[in-house]
Amino acid sequence: MLRILGSPKRLCDGLTRRDMLQVGSLATLGLSLPVLFQQKNYASNPNRGARPGFGKAKSCILLFLYGSPSQLETFDVKPDAPVEVRGEFQTIPSSIPGYRVGELLPQTSKIMHLTTVLRSVTHPYPIHGVAYATTGVDTIDVPMELNPRDPRHYPYIGSVVEYLSKRDGRDRGKAPTNIGLPWPMSSRRVGEVARAGPYAAFLGGAFNPKWTEFRGEATRHWVKTLQDQRFEGGEPYMGISPDSRFELATTTEIPADITLDRLDQRRHLLQQLDDARRDLERSESGRTYSRFQQMAFDLIRSRAVREALDVQREPRSVRESYGMTLFGQSCLVARRLVEAGSRFVTVFWDEFGLAGSGWDTHWNHFARMKEELCPGFDAGFAGLLRDLEQRGLLDETLVVCLSEHGRTPQLTSGNGGGRDHWSQCYSVVLAGGGVRRGCIVGKSDRIASTVAERPISPKDILATIYHLLGFDIETTLTDRTGRPVPLLHQASVIQEAIA
């Protein structure tokens, strides 16, 4: 860094004249004046270390249930509501005294004392806005939902965690900071275009999640319908074969005839070629290229990641405790990845075979909840929390289970009955990593239709995740034009959920 000699002159905001003169040289390292202000203010904040829960979580496992489960059959049951609202399922007691969950969650009911349930999440966008639920963008519409490259998008929370960790020198370096399971989102179904959400947006493609690929066979078959479309075939979310496995994305796999020595030789050759491309490296595209190249080599050489993905190393009893489904085994891999050093791991319950699947139960709601969806979730979610607790990892691992919205209280008369999109009131579950245990935050009305107490926005949830991971929610990012943008708009930490 270029240093400017001379006596210090402190300005009213705490920065010295020397700090101001250093900005020009810092810009070449990717630090702008707004970022310098933010870092100075963050470092000098006397309360940042004393705030409850701040930095308590070393890592985060985000479980995203695409399509959105019904709050009425899961975490906000209404046994006294009319049958056209409560549906055909019963409720069961949970390990939180006086709190009941849906009967389709028998294993989850036994670990609810480890969690905090947010029953009053609300926002105005009843569409599949994965980006709205997981990024700092303050609005969403259907064109944005169906276009990951829409310039209005903000970066995914895992991408921000990776970016800030690297920027602030907090990257562990043992395994990818930001990794997604079980495959790149929207890549295993037909119909429509890729959905927005888990992308780095203006931070650059090098900060996209590093994805795995699932290799295995489904052991159960299922029929899915979407208006006039039909899919019939293997459903991995209902069951997979024991020899199923997860691998790094194919772009970072080593060919069978390439040893690490030969890989190093190739790397040295590439470095020699890079020396002849100084002009390219001075450009933003060159810097992005270099980040991609380093990322690929790091992934290839990471024995910790390869071993973490190998669920065959686990005892059969542990694997079965998560459920032998795609979601359950993905949750097990997520636990192994945070043990290996990953800081932010996302398990997407994604569409498979047909667009509009996942938890999007417009049709055949009760049959799908009973046979296709809840059994796999119940085993995977409960298995993950039990395993983390038994290993002494839950207090340092934040687990967040969320979706885009909830489902309509009023059942439809469509094929097999259904619940449509509903964002006015739904539930999210948190556990571990600085979260209170056995806590219920917020309340809905008598049919889980509107918020009766303590409205919570998706941005408040993101703020709480950042806070527990040790990132100040007042942090600013820099967009493609060099303009500072807030990490989140009008968000606050959910203090009632903090231990």
Q: Give the pLDDT confidence of 373-424 residue by residue, as tens digits.
A: 999 999 999 999 999 999 999 999 999 999 999 999 999 987 788 999 999 9
CATH classification of the domain holding 195: 3.40.720
The letter for the amino acid at 80 is D
Residue 36 pLDDT: 43
- Domain contains 3: no
Residue 43 has pLDDT above 60, yes or no: no
For residue 73, give the nearest of 453, 408, 441, 443 by alpha carbon: 408
Q: What is the mean pLDDT of residues 266-273?
A: 47
Residue 65 has pLDDT above 90, yes or no: yes
- Domain contains 302: yes
The CA distance from 41 to 191, in Å, is: 48
Return the axis-axis angle of helices 260-275 and 284-301, rounded to nearest 10°: 170
Distance set, CA 181 to CA 235, 333, 345 (Å): 16, 9, 8
- Domain contains 236: yes
Q: What is the mean pLDDT of residues 98-123?
A: 98
Q: What is the mean pLDDT of residues 439-451?
A: 98
Residue 401 pLDDT: 98
Band the pLDDT of 32: cuts 50, 70, 90: very low
Please report, rounded to a whole number, the percentage of residues in the chain having pLDDT higher than 70.
Answer: 79
Residue 20 pLDDT: 39
Comparing 163-167, 174-178, 321-325, 452-456, the range with the smallest average pLDDT is 174-178
The CA distance from 61 to 384, in Å, is: 10
Residue 100 host element (H or E): strand 100-102
Q: What is the mean pLDDT of residues 353-370?
A: 92
260 or 447: which carries more pLDDT confidence? 447
- Domain contains 43: no
Contact 401, 428 (CB under 8 A): yes
Specify the residue for token string 């040893």. Answer: 259
Residue 303 pLDDT: 78
Tell me the β-bridge partners of 213. 247
Whether the ω angle into residue 409 lies within 30 degrees of 0, i.e. cis, is no
The CA distance from 128 to 423, in Å, is: 10
Give me the domain span that covers residue 214: 58-497
Tell me the β-bridge partners of 418. 412
- Domain contains 22: no
484 or 258: which carries more pLDDT confidence? 484
Specify the residue for token string 């046979």. Answer: 371
Residue 307 host element (H or E): helix 303-309
The CA distance from 427 to 160, in Å, is: 24
Residue 174 pLDDT: 76
Contact 33, 23 (CB under 8 A): yes
Tell me the β-bridge partners of 221. 234
Count the domains in the chain: 1
Band the pLDDT of 106: cuts 50, 70, 90: very high
Q: What is the mean pLDDT of residues 419-431?
A: 98
Backbone angle region of 373, left / alpha / beta, with phi > 0 → left and psi within -120 to 50 → alpha: alpha
The CA distance from 463 to 457, in Å, is: 10
Comparing 21-35, 88-102, 140-154, the range with the smallest average pLDDT is 21-35
- Domain contains 9: no
The CA distance from 66 to 68, in Å, is: 5
The CA distance from 254 to 432, in Å, is: 36
Residue 115 pLDDT: 98
The CA distance from 20 to 7, in Å, is: 13
Comparing 215-219, 242-246, 285-289, the range with the smallest average pLDDT is 285-289
- DSSP 3-state of 209: coil
- Domain contains 276: yes
Strand bridging mode 421-422 / 100-102: unpaired
Please, is 460 exposed, middle or buried when counting C-beta atoms within 10 Å of its C-beta (0-12, 13-18, 19+)?
buried
- Domain contains 50: no
Q: What is the mean pLDDT of residues 439-450?
A: 98
Residue 178 has pLDDT above 70, yes or no: yes
Residue 296 pLDDT: 54
End-to-end Cα spacing for the chain: 41
